[in-house]
Amino acid sequence: MRKIKHVNSAGLLFLVVAFIMTGFFLLSFAGEKYDFLALLFAVTAGVLMLAVYVILIKISRHADRFVIIVADLLIGIGLLIQYRLNTDNAFRQLLFLVVGIILMFIIMALIKNTKFFEYISWPLMIVSIAVLSVLFFVGKEVGGARNWIIIAGIQFQPSEFVKLAFVVVLADWLTDRYRFFDLIIPMIFVFMIVGILMLERDLGAAVLLFGTSLIMFYVATGRKGAVLTGVGIGAIGAVGSYYLFDHVKARVAIWLNPWATYTTNGYQIAQGLMAIATGGMWGVGLGVGSPKLIPMYNNDYIFAVICEEFGVIFGILLIAFYLVLVIRGAIIALNATEKFYMLLSFGCTTIIALQSIIIIGGVIKMIPLTGITLPFVSQGGSSMIACLMMLGVLEGVSARSGMMLENRMAEIEEEMRTNENEA
Amino acid sequence: MPSTAYITFASIMRYFFVLAMLYILVRITVQSVREYLSIRRAKYWVDGVFAATVKFIAPEEFENASFELAKKNAIGSSKRCELYIDGCNLEKKHVVLIQKKHGAYLEVRASVKINGKKHGKGEVLPLYDGDKIELNSVAFIFNTRLKEEKNAQN
Amino acid sequence: MKTKRNIKTVLILFCVLFVSMSVYLVYTVSVYGTRYFTSPYNTRTEKISNRVEAGKILDRNEKTLAYTSDGEREYSDSKTTRLATAHVLGDDMGQTIGAQSMFARYLLGFDQSVLDMILHPDSTLKGSNVELTIDSKLCRDIYELMEDHKGAVVITNYKTGEILASVSTPSFDPKKIKDYLDGDYELEDGALVNRATMGVYTPGSTFKIVTIVAALRYLPNVTEREFDCTGPLVFDKDTGKFRNGLTYSELTDDEKLDYVYLTDYKNETHGTMTLKEAFASSCNVTFARLAMEIGSSRLMKVAEELGVNKEFLFEEIMVNAGKMETGNSDYRLAWAGVGQHKDVMTPLHMCLLTGAVANNGTMMEPKLLNSVKTASGTQKHSLKAETYKQAIKPYEAEIIKEYMIEAVKHGTGTEAKISGVTVGGKTGSAEVSSNKETGTHAWFTGFIDSNKYPFAICVVCERAGTGGSVAAPIAKKALEMAMERLA
């Protein structure tokens, strides 16, 4: 029987795991006493990654190996830097990692074997709006944005999960619908979600989802005119919010000159820039820098911390890895056999791409700073779980496409055989 | 504050981390490209692109044997050919069968009969599904799954 | 399928965004990195200096100006040397930005190579030693010259860009900074400011160098024309428009109130002169006319090419660039052209400009770092002259040079004459107050036209009098001392 030949990337996986372990090895000497826990942590993480890889391939031969390996690398670097910052957080991160992995496998299996995701768009729409609205009333405000909920003692961010729901909903609506009139309902949905997020002052998520919706719309329908109108509306919204909301004005001011308001608003950006500059090309060394001077050093500003200790060259390579992830995601989308899954996987890819661009761009002062996390690397349970769920989607679509392709190949072989017998 | 020894160690390790990342990046890119090509090959096969075969009908020893064609196939008696046939009096490089995305064609290096018609050195002819090709005592049928509709679409 | 094509398009968009992010990151760190790193807000360097013995700072003759002993930063034994070099060195408590901050990456051993670290493991404990381009004895002698004034003196080598001396008064004793922060030591107002690089002063007539570049560039045959200086120029009080036909002496007392005027120092009139004579005698009337002829946008353009209104991003030293506005009336443009209105310049910027004139129009990048030697003795960095830009065209520089030499020979700068060499220069007496009692800022900027002594100098004395009588003599003595020290 004819099969698709997949490249054996076990070697790469071992490389990545070895790399992470080396990092922890170094870190174990950082304290006054030798830190055995660090090695233990590293081994646990390493074994976990190897196990995940094995299970992944077991679930489907056709699962995309590179996406999981790059994710492992990013997660590993994230764990490394989190451990360096605060060991308790690192263990929490590991825990959320496990939860996320389980969800990832579930989603992957669902996509590969069922049509579950094709039918849940209405429930998802209602739940998303409900959850975000509820935040208005019971939300806990952190860092100026009201987007956290505490359930059973655990703090998490529903907007992270809304992202995935958003993509599923849009993918469903955009499959086989081109006419403006048919798309009114999802457009209302988009505006409602973006609106609620803006009112809750979660600008990062609002911009991210708005951008994603425009991109998905363009990919599905190819209507440049409509997309440009959407960009126009976004621009007007941006300018409008600048004049309407003081906190937006403040963000733009500190983007242009953080040193002017160093003691108050500009402090974070200035510290981030100084940290990156101090690191220089090669960094000051793991454990040698002063990351805690920067506010939000373990989530939004994690990129600056990485650049301080590992250097700008490393930072650029990190950006390159995100690009690899995005490209592989796009390839998964291109290889999909059904339009719904094409849109679904590309939607997830877009979210990862835009999210990284928005936060890294903000940290290096290329664009105004917004508060979102760096996928896989930032500390944050909800972020990690949501990103792993998106990974699950990508793997699921890859598995499904591979399976369908191989089935088709078997069909053709069967055809050829019967043709021969007839001949 | 970490000790001086640690700082020296960490400073040296900086270079290692960067170089290791670079190496991993390069390897992932290379392997990723290979994976992409592999899936593309499978898709091409499903669509019948580059998926032609030849089935022998003469001489008797080779009857019904199938050979899956690559993009470029030199056929002759030289061991260097993709399809080399011994003991049938063929030229070293008798013909070259080339597959393109939308069809295939034959580069004639020594005399050949296609569907009974003779063709001489230097001719380049398109091949279609079912064409019978004869090189001296060897004969085979060219099979492509490329449907005519596909050709029209492309 | 169209969708596939769209996906590919968006993918390309993502690639472009990611790549531009990387490019921007590299750009920011290479261009602004030093600035961010040496920012006084950056406490990271402090943390490092707690465990590393910061390297020594030496002058060009290897005299130690600053060193670390027992964790404490120590300076030269001579108080005058300390005061004279204080601003160039900077302090070690983050109050000023000088060599100690700018070169922190060398002094704290940030730039050690892996090989160094492996072969000499204890050298991670010691930073590298930094040798500056200044001559401390020259600075000391210049400091003594400036002791009664507030202001600055800068001397550079206009062929290489090396800063040979930079003194700013009033100064501070770096040894006493800790006491100052504890409130136990008082400093004069503004003592911490490095007037040579950051002090912005109205340039007065020294700004005519800018105006004359514009005149040479845009007014054809201006060197052959004759100019009349017979009295103040008259402008409408409300609109600022130039009233060419009106002569001041013909106005009635009532009419005089309707107008504003541009005059020369003490209402002097120069009669009919060539451009050369007008420059040498620093005639405001002539240059005001020239400024108006050149026009606001062209004058601003030339100024910007000379660095005015730009940001200087030199690697080794932080310098404020000059600024100018021409306003929207002839009156304002006229005064801007002679270095008043809202014009400001820093002494170092003026020195760079003069250096460009002396150096065929090529402005060299100012250099403060002569060499860097690691604790284990390897020489890491050495001085490399770099051109900043071709600020003035060579033939323009030739002419201006000639005029500046004339200004010292027969014009307002005769006090700067030095026997044995040709000195060129420009004086300036900048008005800073409508109160006639307040003295003008005395400026002198000039050069020695010699391959053996390629020095450019700028002297500023705040509210001290005229450039010709106060600044020029100081410049003469300073240049003579430089010639002696740096043959």
Residue B149 has what pLDDT?
46
Helix, strand and coil in chain B, % to nearest 5: 35, 30, 35
Classify strands C226-229 and C271-274 as parallel, antiparallel or unpaired.
Answer: antiparallel
- Mean pLDDT for C367-379 is 86
Please state, for a pLDDT cut of 70, what percent of chain A lies above it. 97
The 10 Å Cβ neighbour count of residue A194 is 21
Instruction: Say yes or no to pLDDT of A343 above 80.
Output: yes
d(CA A321, CA A192): 34
C292 and C337 Cβ atoms separated by less than 8 Å: yes
d(CA A274, CA A253): 18
- Which DSSP category does C467 fall into? I
Please state, for a pLDDT cut of 90, what percent of chain C lies above it. 60
- Mean pLDDT for C35-49 is 80
Instruction: Give the DSSP H or E segment for B143.
Output: strand B138-143
B1–chain C Cβ distance below 8 A for any pair: yes
d(CA A202, CA A199): 8
Chains sharing 3 or more CB pairs under 8 A with chain B: A, C
Residue C1 has what pLDDT?
64
Residue B150 has what pLDDT?
47
Q: Is C90 helix (H, G, I), strand (E, B) or coil?
A: coil
Please indicate whether, in this complex, the C-beta atoms of C124 and B12 are within 8 angstroms of each other: no
A242-299 pLDDT, tens digit each: 888 888 888 888 898 888 888 778 888 988 999 999 888 888 889 888 888 888 888 8
**What sections of C250-388 are H helices per DSSP?**
253-256, 275-280, 284-294, 296-305, 330-337, 347-358
Among chain A residues, the shortest Cα distance to B43 is held by A405
Shortest Cα–Cα distance, B27 to chain A (Å) = 8
C324-334 pLDDT, tens digit each: 998 888 999 99
Crossing angle of helices A158-174 and A203-221, in 10° steps, is 20
| Structure ipTM | 0.94
Q: Which of A285, A368, A302, A32 is nearest to C44 (CA)?
A: A285
- Give me the residue from A30, A283, A284 closest to B6, CB to CB: A30
C131-143 pLDDT, tens digit each: 999 999 999 999 9
In chain B, what residues touch C51 (CB-CB under 8 Å)?
A: 1, 4, 7
Please indicate whether, in this complex, the C-beta atoms of A409 and B9 are within 8 angstroms of each other: no
Residue B154 has what pLDDT?
46
A323 and C14 Cβ atoms separated by less than 8 Å: yes
Residue A182 has what pLDDT?
80
- Give me the residue from B13, B28, B45 closest to A286, CB to CB: B13
d(CA A287, CA A273): 18
Please indicate whether, in this complex, the C-beta atoms of C125 and B15 are within 8 angstroms of each other: no
Residue at token pair 């304002």 = C332
- Mean pLDDT for A117-121 is 86
**Measured CA distances, B87 to A142, B59, B80, B92 (Å):** 84, 11, 15, 11
Pick the CATH number of C204-368+385-485 from 3.30.560.10, 3.40.366.10, 3.60.10.10, 3.40.710.10: 3.40.710.10
Q: Which of B4, B25, B32 to mutate to test the interface with C (most CBs of C within 10 A)?
A: B4
Q: Where are the domains of chain C?
A: 204-368+385-485
d(CA B154, CA B149): 9
A80-90 pLDDT, tens digit each: 999 999 888 89
Q: Which of B6, B7, B8, B43 to mutate to test the interface with C (most CBs of C within 10 A)?
A: B8
Q: Which of A393, A359, A325 is nearest to A118 (CA)?
A: A393
Q: Is B73 helix (H, G, I), strand (E, B) or coil?
A: strand
